[in-house]
Homo-oligomer: A and B are copies of this chain.
């Protein structure tokens, strides 16, 4: 049986608190035996990949450029798409649920695509007041709600 795939989205730059949040989200995804998919760059993406790796998990990085070398060190499987922002749409199709941590316009765009596709979209310290988004207050709740949204909740 295939492992579930959970997407983590968020900006490429992040302060220390956000980094720690992303790392915990990644760790909890791996501990739930799910694969993490993200945009493969720095900031929240790196934090989440790092957390997942530290818990022995696997991380798919769908990179905007043509070269795997741009992946953060905790991407275990880099996929250079060379599609720029269009790679966000692949993340939304690939992930069974999305967790947004903080984030700017790119994250908002991805949340909207996830909602359009009918995926569970969980937000943590991210864009407020979006109809359809599941708002969580901490990493454990975020991962629980994402897994619950795809029928994997404990």
**Chain A residues proximal to chain B, CB less than 8 Å:** 2, 5, 35, 37, 60, 62, 66, 68, 76-86, 88-90, 92-94, 104-106, 108-110, 112-113, 115-117, 129-130, 132
Contacts and interface: CB of A to CB of B under 8 A. Distances in A.
A60 B2 CA distance: 12
A76 B84 CA distance: 24
Nearest to A85: B89
A2 B84 contact: no
A87 to B, nearest CB: 8
A84 B112 contact: no
Contact of A82 (B62, B79, B93): B93
A93 B66 contact: yes
Contact of A84 (B83, B115, B130): B83
A64 B130 CA distance: 25
A83 B79 contact: no
Contacts of A37: 79
B90 A83 contact: yes
18 contacts: A35-B77, A66-B93, A79-B93, A81-B94, A82-B85, A82-B93, A83-B84, A83-B90, A84-B89, A85-B92, A86-B86, A86-B89, A89-B89, A90-B90, A105-B113, A108-B130, A109-B109, A109-B112
